[in-house]
C-alpha cells in the first residue's frame, strides 16, 4: 500500500507539495479551513512579483531562474497566461553602489549571462515617463521577470490537484494537528478526525498558532497592499510601466502594471506589524497618506488616482528570513513547510519538488538552508518585523 499524507493548508506550499507527492505515489488528502483560494491566504490577491533578482544570493537567484523557466512552461501547459513576462525595473535615488540591492543584483545576474539594461535618468524619462526621473538617478531593467496572477494560479493548482486524484477538503472548521504523545498521528477538527502516515503543516501565517512551539522562530506580520484605479490605465501598462521596485532594498516600495481590470497594485515589503493570524485585518491609521506621499514623489500622475481597494496580508516571517521546510525533530511524522518570509510565491513552480524531497528525506541542494535551526542572536539579522 502506498504511504498516506495529510496536508494542512492549500496555499502555494501545500498545493504544490500535494501535487508532487501525489505524482510520487503518495495518497494525499489536503485540508483547508476555507475555500481555495482562501481570501485571506498570502498566496491569494491579484498579483505577485516573479523575479530572479536577489542581490548576491546564489541559491535564490538559481531558484528564481528555474522558476521562471517553469512559469513559462505552465503558461504553455495551461493555455492561459497567468505569468506575465513584462520585466522588472529597479530604480534607486543614488548611483548604484556595491552592497546595494540594485548594484549587486545587476552585477551577479550579469555574471550569470543575463542581459540587463542600465537605466539612467534620460532613459527613464523617455521610456518610463510615469517615473519621476528627477529623483530616481540610476537602476536597471531586467526583461526576464514579471508577475503572476496569484489567486488564479492557486485556483488552477487546486483544480489540477483535484483532477489528479488528490482529495481536497475545504471549509473545515478549525482543523489542527492531532498528537498521541509527541507523535503526530493526524488532523482533527470539531467535526472529524483524519489519520495518515505523515502530516505536513503548510498553513502559512497560521502555522505558529497551530504549532506554538514554533512561535520563538516564526510569526505573522501584517503587510498592506493598495489597488488604485486610474481613470486612464494606459500609461501604467507595459512596456513603459513594468513591475518595479523603487529603492526597494532601502524602502521596500514595489508594484505592478495595470491588470486587465485597470487596477494598479502598490505595496511595501517592510517590517510590517507583528500580529497573530486571527488578528482583524485593519489598515494602520495614516496608511493611505503614506502611500500617496510615496506616489507623489515617484509616480506623480498616479498620486491622485481613485482607490479601488486595500488588503492586509500576512507574511509568516522567520527570525532569519529563510523558509522553514523540515521534519519536526520534536514530533515524529510531522513535517513543516512554512516561514515564507514574504517572498515565496515566485518559487511556486519549484516548491513542490523541494518539499516532497524533504518529506521523503531525499537529498535536495536547496533544502539545507530551510532546515529546523536554532535561533541565535547572530542569525536574527534577517528578521524584519517590529514587535
Ligand atoms: C502583501 C503580500 C505581498 C506579497 N508579495 C509577494 C510577491 O510579490 N512575490 C512573492 O514571491 N511572494 C510574495 N508574497 C509572499 C507569498 O505570498 C507567500 O510567500 C506565499 O503565498 C506563502 O504561501 P503559503 O502556502 O505558505 O501560505 P498561504 O498562502 O497563506 O496559505 C496557507 C493556507 O493554509 C490555510 N490554513 C490556515 N490555517 C489552517 C488550519 N488550521 N487548517 C487548515 N488550513 C489552514 C489557509 O486557509 C491558507 O489556504 C507576498 C505576501 C504578502 C502577504
**pLDDT one digit per residue (tens) for the chain, 387 residues:** 899 999 999 999 999 999 999 999 999 999 999 999 999 999 999 999 999 999 999 999 999 999 999 999 999 999 999 999 999 999 999 999 999 999 999 999 999 999 999 999 999 999 999 999 999 999 999 999 999 999 999 999 999 999 999 999 999 999 999 999 999 999 999 989 999 999 999 999 999 999 999 999 999 999 999 999 999 999 999 999 999 999 999 999 999 999 999 999 999 998 899 999 988 899 999 999 999 999 999 999 999 999 999 999 999 999 999 999 999 999 999 999 999 999 999 999 999 999 999 999 999 999 999 999 998 766 654 545 433
Same domain for 234 and 125, yes or no, is yes
Phi, then psi, of 22 in degrees rounded to 5: -60, -45
Minimum-distance ligand 1 atom for the alpha carbon of 203: 34
The confidence score (pLDDT) of residue 155 equals: 98
Which of 340, 351, 352, 384, when mutated, tests ligand 1's pocket best, judged by the most ligand atoms within 8 Å of its CB? 340
Burial of 189 by CB count in 10 Å (0-12 exposed, 13-18 middle, 19+ buried)? middle
Ligand 1 atom with least separation from CA of 210: 41
Residue 49: inside a domain, yes or no? no
Any domain includes 34: yes
What pLDDT sits at residue 378? 61
Same domain, 200 and 274: no
CA of 265 to the centre of ligand 1 (A): 18
- Domain ranges, residue 24: 4-43+151-217+320-382
Q: Is residue 281 domain-resident?
A: yes
Both 299 and 347 in one domain: the answer is no
The grid coordinates listed for 360 are 521523503
Same domain, 246 and 144: yes
Ligand 1 pocket: which of 193, 345, 352, 354 to mutate (most atoms <8 Å of CB)? 345
Which residues, including other chains, have CB under 8 Å from residue 252's CB and lie 6 or more apart?
268, 269, 270
pLDDT score of 387:
34
The reported pLDDT for the residue numbered 376 is: 77
Give 152: exposed, middle or buried? Use CB within 10 Å, 0-12, 13-18, 19+: middle
Identify whether residues 275 and 371 lie together within a single domain.
Answer: no
Of 295, 308, 284, nearest in space to 255 by CA: 295
Ligand 1 neighbours by CB, cut-off 6 Å: 8-14, 31-34, 38, 41-43, 48-49, 175-176, 202-206, 210, 223, 225, 267, 313-315, 338, 340, 342-346
Output the residue whose Cα is nearest ligand 1's atom 33. Answer: 9
Q: What is the pLDDT of residue 1?
A: 86
Is residue 112 assigned to a domain?
yes
Atom of ligand 1 nearest to the CA of 340: 19
Give the residue from 283, 317, 351 where a domain finishes: 317
Cα 162 to averaged position of ligand 1 atoms, centre (Å): 20
pTM recorded for the entire structure: 0.97
| 254 CA: nearest ligand 1 atom | 8
Looking at ligand 1, which atom is closest to the CA of residue 176?
41
Amino acid at each position: 500500500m502506498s504511504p498516506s499524507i495529510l496536508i494542512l493548508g492549500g496555499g502555494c506550499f501545500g498545493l504544490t507539495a500535494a501535487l508532487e507527492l501525489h505524482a510520487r505515489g503518495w495518497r494525499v488528502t489536503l485540508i483547508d479551513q476555507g475555500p481555495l483560494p482562501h481570501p485571506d491566504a498570502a498566496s491569494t490577491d491579484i498579483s505577485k512579483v516573479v523575479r530572479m533578482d536577489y542581490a548576491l544570493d546564489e541559491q535564490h537567484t538559481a531558484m528564481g531562474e528555474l522558476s521562471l523557466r517553469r512559469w513559462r512552461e505552465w503558461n504553455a501547459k495551461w493555455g492561459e497566461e497567468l505569468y506575465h513576462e513584462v520585466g522588472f525595473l529597479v530604480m534607486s535615488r543614488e548611483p548604484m553602489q556595491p552592497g546595494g540591492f540594485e548594484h549587486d543584483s545587476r552585477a551577479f545576474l550579469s555574471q550569470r549571462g543575463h542581459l540587463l539594461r542600465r537605466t539612467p535618468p534620460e532613459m527613464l524619462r523617455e521610456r518610463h515617463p510615469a517615473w519621476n526621473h528627477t529623483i530616481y538617478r540610476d537602476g536597471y531593467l531586467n526583461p526576464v521577470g514579471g508577475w503572476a496572477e496569484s489567486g488564479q494560479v492557486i485556483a488552477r493548482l487546486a483544480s489540477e490537484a483535484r483532477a489528479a486524484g488528490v482529495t481536497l477538503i475545504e471549509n473545515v472548521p478549525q482543523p489542527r494537528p492531532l498528537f498521541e504523545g509527541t507523535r503526530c498521528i493526524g488532523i482533527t477538527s470539531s467535526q472529524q478526525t483524519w489519520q495518515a502516515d505523515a502530516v505536513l503543516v503548510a498553513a502559512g501565517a497560521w502555522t505558529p498558532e497551530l504549532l506554538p512551539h514554533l512561535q520563538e522562530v516564526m510569526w505573522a506580520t501584517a503587510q498592506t497592499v493598495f489597488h488604485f484605479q486610474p481613470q486612464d490605465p494606459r500609461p501604467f501598462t507595459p512596456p513603459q510601466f513594468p513591475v518595479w521596485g523603487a529603492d526597494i532594498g532601502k524602502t521596500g516600495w514595489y508594484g505592478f502594471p495595470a491588470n486587465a481590470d485597470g487596477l494598479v497594485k502598490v505595496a511595501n515589503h517592510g517590517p510590517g506589524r507583528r500580529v497573530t493570524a486571527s488578528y482583524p485585518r485593519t489598515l494602520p491609521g495614516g496608511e493611505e497618506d503614506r502611500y500617496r506621499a510615496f506616489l507623489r514623489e515617484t509616480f506623480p500622475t498616479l498620486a491622485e488616482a481613485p482607490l479601488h481597494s486595500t488588503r492586509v496580508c500576512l507574511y509568516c516571517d522567520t527570525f532569519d528570513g529563510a523558509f522553514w521546510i523540515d521534519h519536526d525533530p520534536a514530533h515524529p511524522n510531522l513535517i513543516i513547510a512554512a516561514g515564507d518570509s514574504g517572498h515565496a510565491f515566485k518559487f511556486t513552480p519549484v516548491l513542490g519538488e523541494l518539499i516532497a524531497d524533504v518529506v521523503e528525506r531525499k537529498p535536495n541542494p536547496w533544502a539545507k538552508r530551510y532546515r529546523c535551526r536554532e535561533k541565535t542572536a547572530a542569525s536574527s539579522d534577517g528578521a524584519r518585523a517590529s514587535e
